[in-house]
Chain A
């Protein structure tokens, strides 16, 4: 590669992508090898810094690179399989990690060699994440922390090599102040992952028991006691990771219902027709709202619509999939398979209507419930006053549980 200043124009990026493709023709290069080379060329996520898979270019230029690579049939890193790593772990490590941590973790994360999971929720702390009880105690002599506690609803923990973990390091402080953020090795002794079967019959998420887990202090992210600020970075990225995509008309959950409607006239009723049209219109409007948000981002004027998109999609997915089950009549009474499986990704399109209906129920719970998101919109977008609360100044150990 040339040693010139970082290319940050579309043409320069296109040229650089072609150089990569010439040096590593996709046809004759292994998937992992190609992805590593792409990372090293700064074409993984162009807005990341040089040396960390990027070039410090505007985020919008990633599309130029992606289009070139797609046209050349280059392998991709299957973003859905590594969504937590890409969407949550990476931006947090970038913002708070030491140089050493960034160099150690970002490359295998992006390439997909190391899958990440998020060890946040606990049986006693979900929406009120800062109430968490998992303890971490420092053994100063060894430079290691000992972690004990239980996490829950941990998606992909069974595939994960690393987990982002929040734990309590000072119970005498108010709950937001006594938290520290760690990178947890899921292969460590003391980490036990047990499948949690869910509403669909499969086990996408898990319980994770942490018993005497030793985490080196070098795997702490951010300062001791500053874990809440770090976790907020993660959560904010979790919520905005949706929205930026361009989807075609009839691109989402409405597609299979519309297809069934067209192909199977015997299923049609007037009442279902009215509901289908309402939802079709709403799906189209949600698509346009997402597109408008994307255009705002590209134009460098991000609007607050992002906070709302997850709410809109959760509600739509649930209503549309519910309609679909009803439309199918007798078939809607059946379910494809209740066998417990441990899938690598959530796949709405490859499954039948019953699965879609049940899995969509999680859309308004995972990644912050719709109720919590409505609070956020009301307070941060509309500026409505917060509700009075008495948990902010009390020591965590004195809170009612």
Chain B
């Protein structure tokens, strides 16, 4: 018996020149407008999102519409480019609803492919409207989709969804109900902020009490669209994790070079050098895995679900370890509220639960690679 051993064509794992240009634009925007101090100050006000930053990223750079074809109002790029944006957002733990609005919601609407969904899709692509899918952030590709929301007839929706990411920033919520997919204006829903572990990606409980929704798709289409979008989002989340891990590694290497104890830079001690060298190798490997996932999604490769599961099973752990090493090797300063390390640790840990844990994705690998459980 042969498992899915042969990827159709070798994935392109490098970055194109255009992708590097996009990266440079996003990185320079974030360098100017998204520093750790500002992120933290915002988080403490309870309104972590930065709408002005989002506007420049989404409208100025056009990042919100990368996944959307030009004829539907987008940039007509693809997953490889969106992955580059996410790497940079991960490096900066930027408090913007990219993963939710520009990836997850956008992919759902794209897959609905209905006349009702098209105008909303164009709004998302233009960056003028932010949309949060009302599903728990932990919902994973391959998992059973919940249907806690009931339609009492004519799109009047009732139900509660917990742990919804970026709902507070959303103009529109995408609601999966028993009768299909609905768009609900944020004002029609109750959005109750929760206290999130990750200060930079806020969570809320969304409560619908006879809220009117606009129907975008029938139940079968809706469920397939959500399942497909979860796969894309999980695959692209790996790139966010790579960017985050890379920042942690670079920052830590910089710190141990300059920090002296015992009359030597602490980075000259072999115990630390070996830890950091191993981490470097893990980050380099995570990059290859994340690139493979982005490329498989972009090309619609038949083994994309396996490639995404591999990337998620691997990159989550690397990001968490990079952030944990960052805290540890900074010593006392790494434990403080002022130093940005904690923002990265919180994002990394939350990311490791988002869109399926590594364990869940290993279970998917077992299915796709035909390595069944006992």
Contacts and interface: CB of A to CB of B under 8 A. Distances in A.
B253 A295 contact: no
A261 interface: yes
Given A382-B276, A384-B267, A292 B371 contact: no
A249 B289 contact: no
B3 A371 contact: no
Interface stretch (B46-54, B132-140, B278-286): B278-286
Interface in A305-347: 305, 308, 311-312
B313 A273 contact: no
Interface string B319-330: 000000000000
Contacts of A288: 11, 13, 285, 288-289, 291-292
B281 A377 contact: yes
Given A289-B288, A312-B285, A277 B310 contact: no
Contacts of A258: 3, 369, 371
B274 A378 contact: yes
B268 interface: yes
A299 B14 contact: yes
Interface in A229-267: 246, 248-250, 258, 261-263, 265
B371 A249 contact: no
Nearest to A312: B281
A101 interface: no
Nearest to B2: A250
A234 B372 CA distance: 45
Interface stretch (A62-70, A92-100, A207-215, A385-393): A385-393
A275 to B, nearest CB: 10
14 contacts: A268-B373, A273-B371, A273-B373, A273-B374, A277-B365, A277-B371, A295-B12, A295-B14, A377-B281, A379-B273, A382-B277, A384-B265, A386-B268, A388-B264
B308 to A, nearest CB: 12
A262 B5 CA distance: 13
A115 to B, nearest CB: 33
Interface in B293-325: 310, 313-314
Contacts of A385: 257, 264-265, 267-268
A387 B366 CA distance: 44
Given A249-B7, A288-B289, 8 more contacts: A262-B371, A263-B1, A288-B292, A371-B274, A374-B278, A381-B277, A383-B253, A385-B264
Interface stretch (A48-56, A150-158, A217-225, A278-286): A278-286
Nearest to A268: B374
Contacts of A291: 10-11, 13, 288
Given A278-B362, A374-B274, A379-B273, A387 B268 contact: yes
Contact of A387 (B1, B270, B291): B270
Contacts of B363: 277
Contacts of A303: 284
Contacts of A186: none
Interface string B1-31: 1011111001111100000000000000000
A382 B268 CA distance: 11
B310 A270 contact: no
A383 B256 CA distance: 11
A262 B7 CA distance: 20
B370 A262 contact: yes
Interface in A341-380: 371, 374-375, 377-379
B68 to A, nearest CB: 28
B287 interface: yes
Given A377-B277, A384-B257, A281 B310 contact: yes
Contacts of A382: 253, 273, 276-277, 280
B53 to A, nearest CB: 31
A274 interface: yes
A269 interface: yes
A296 interface: yes
Nearest to B314: A285
Contacts of A305: 284
Nearest to A271: B374
A269 B369 contact: no
Contacts of B362: 274, 277-278, 281
A276 interface: yes
> What 9 A-B pairs have minimum CB-CB distances, sorted nearest first?
A378-B273, A268-B374, A377-B277, A292-B13, A385-B268, A308-B281, A288-B288, A289-B288, A277-B362
Nearest to B373: A273
Contacts of B284: 289, 303-305, 308
Nearest to B371: A261
Contacts of B310: 281, 284-285
Contacts of B7: 249
A384 B278 contact: no
A304 B277 CA distance: 12
A258 B370 CA distance: 9
A384 B10 contact: no
